[in-house]
Structure 1
């Protein structure tokens, strides 16, 4: 009998452990290091008591767990879809649509050939805006202060929703996959660019007026939702950005994240008017993988932004515009970043002038060769950029040799890396 019992116990011990928690539960108590960039010392919800720890696997549970300013740790299991009702049932674009809206009617009404190059207005545009507001009420999920959000295992995913940290303080987000925050009701803007553009709402993650935020080892993409038709000669774009740091957000570190397969990826500062951004928007980006992106990695206004040890993978020139957007009063300090590019991609395009005056860029390597990004830009484009940005980063835990960046970043960036 004893031998038989021992055999049963042994067999149970050999059964696989469910992958719900994996090895990632301990991340909930970790805090940002004392020199880990501008977000150094962020503690999130690490002080949460047992009754302030939640495990969620639905949109309704996520919304409830993230509310309030008390210390809290929220563990995400599996995939949570923002386009679901409180019972977990999927909500389609047609269900969000206002009775007065349809895409065929919108395309007919605002065709530039008959409507002209003025902004859409009238009952149909108002119905589109109401439809968009219906979706926003479901997919935009607010995050309270003193919060840590951790994805469990290597498949914790927030799909089709916007996690919005608005005016909150002290937030940590780690090991989460963000994908396909799509807008069912893009707006046609005939005055955007020389031929007009479709513009949409919803980024995967928004830090709006937030302070002390650490986003680490996450993944951001369109989730494969990339095949879209063309209307009025322009792609019907249902995605906005991957991550925005805006509205006076400050003291942020973005580390070991993977941004991929998107157009306009990361925006720091969303206006040329400094009502709330001057002296803020201090952000560090280190050891991130930026792969197959069109632009904004990042585009910066006003902020003191430190970019170091990031890897940029640009597989083709056709869909690539630039990586570093030098915007109004931006002070980008870039060092030891590595670019892997297709042959046709010129280092002159790594940075783009957006009314800024200076860019510090040292230690940059492209395809194994050192490049001077500012000199390459100035040789190809006007106006010239200076190199004095008026500050030098001091909150740096370590600066890796640029030659090691591809290996280190590929080993550690993205979800499921412990």
Structure 2
């Protein structure tokens, strides 16, 4: 009898689909060979350090060279901690947390290229929880939980490029994700190639993302629920492909243009809209498949898959 129960349990586990972010690397733009960087490897091969204090985090995140920083427990910081190139910042177990401040990938003189951030809870940041900025490229932000910040939970801006944002949970906040610094920051043209997949936007109000200038911006297999202002906004001639997502109770799932910003371009396909409004679309968009291979999940399965797989403690 025990053998039959164990066999049945093993069969059920085998039937559960694996998360779409591989343990050894990202899907999407962070996987692309470009700008002298073949995919995103973070601190692979570097020194491993267990981080238990804010002072340690600020020290090691700013050191030159490759490091794997393992965040253990709750770490209190203030303002933004600068993260420079070739770092993996990984939460231990399901209780790793950075609170009070956030991580800024790169400065104007020290680039934040080839960085991985995974399995960490971010709360109560004084500014952004995570800011990918200052020409940072090849960044993978995966399986985090972000809430209750002051400004953006996860912004990508100022000529950053080749970024994947996957399997994160966003909640208890208004402005989730900005892509592009401002309507007048035209240096972002030709940059800001970002993949957003299998994220859970649970009750956040807006910016999932609000995109400026970038193309292609690839938004696939995300779960949008109870987003009061809008889901996605494409502005300032951004080119956004929205496919295979599930929108539930979202009155304005996709905007073309928003507020004072000029319109962008949007192609949408195979999305599900439950108790939601009609999406706005315009123009054409470069296919992300010209950069990387990916597999689209059936959008009807997205709520269950994303709720089961997104956030901390799932890798």
Task: Give the TM-score taking structure 2 as reference length.
Answer: 0.83
Using the TM superposition, give the Cα deviation of residue 350 of structure 1 relative to its aligned residue in structure 2, in angstroms.
3.5
1:97-176 superposed matches below 5 A: 139-166=79-106, 167-176=111-120
Using the TM superposition, give the Cα deviation of residue 64 of structure 1 relative to its aligned residue in structure 2, in angstroms.
1.4
Of 291, 307, 310, which aligns to 2:219? 307
Poorly superposed stretches of 4+, deviation over 6 Å: none
* 2:284 alignment counterpart: 388
Using the TM superposition, give the Cα deviation of residue 387 of structure 1 relative to its aligned residue in structure 2, in angstroms.
3.6
Q: Is the counterpart of residue 293 in structure 1 residue 204 in structure 2?
A: yes
| Count of aligned pairs between the two proteins | 277
Using the TM superposition, give the Cα deviation of residue 252 of structure 1 relative to its aligned residue in structure 2, in angstroms.
0.1
| CA offsets 1:50-71 (integer angstroms, 9 cap, x no match) | xx11101110111112122311
Secondary structure of the residue aligned to 1:410 is helix
Tell whether the 8 Å contact from 2:256 to 2:265 is kept in structure 1 after alignment.
no
Q: Which protein is richer in strand relative to its size?
A: 2
Change (3 A) 1:392 1:148: closer
Distance 1:207 1:245 in 2: 5
Tell whether the 8 Å contact from 2:84 to 2:112 is kept in structure 1 after alignment.
yes
Distance 1:31 1:326 in 2: 31
Tell whether the 8 Å contact from 1:210 to 1:250 is kept in structure 2 after alignment.
yes
Of 328, 339, 353, which aligns to 2:257? 353
Change (3 A) 1:153 1:269: same
Distance 2:58 2:185 in 1: 32
* 1:44 alignment counterpart: 42
Q: Which protein is richer in helix relative to its size?
A: 1
Tell whether the 8 Å contact from 1:364 to 1:373 is kept in structure 2 after alignment.
no
Using the TM superposition, give the Cα deviation of residue 364 of structure 1 relative to its aligned residue in structure 2, in angstroms.
1.2
| CA offsets 1:270-305 (integer angstroms, 9 cap, x no match) | 122344211100000000001111110100001121
Of 125, 139, 142, which aligns to 1:213? 139
Distance 1:218 1:75 in 2: 14
Change (3 A) 1:356 1:37: same
Tell whether the 8 Å contact from 2:256 to 2:263 is kept in structure 1 after alignment.
no
Of 239, 246, 249, which aligns to 1:331? 239
Tell whether the 8 Å contact from 1:306 to 1:393 is kept in structure 2 after alignment.
no
Distance 2:298 2:129 in 1: 31
Of 387, 407, 410, which aligns to 2:304? 407
Secondary structure of the residue aligned to 1:307 is strand
Q: Is the counterpart of residue 362 in structure 1 residue 269 in structure 2?
A: yes
Task: Give the TM-score taking structure 1 as reference length.
Answer: 0.63
Distance 2:294 2:282 in 1: 27
Tell whether the 8 Å contact from 1:245 to 1:268 is kept in structure 2 after alignment.
yes
* Unaligned segments of structure 2, at least 5 residues: 1-21, 32-38
Distance 1:43 1:69 in 2: 15
| CA offsets 1:84-131 (integer angstroms, 9 cap, x no match) | xxxxxxxxxxxxxxxxxxxxxxxxxxxxxxxxxxxxxxxxxxxxxxxx
| CA offsets 1:117-162 (integer angstroms, 9 cap, x no match) | xxxxxxxxxxxxxxxxxxxxxx211101010010001110000112
Distance 1:71 1:244 in 2: 24
Secondary structure of the residue aligned to 1:263 is coil
Secondary structure of the residue aligned to 1:326 is strand
Aligned residues: CA RMSD: 1.9
Using the TM superposition, give the Cα deviation of residue 351 of structure 1 relative to its aligned residue in structure 2, in angstroms.
2.3
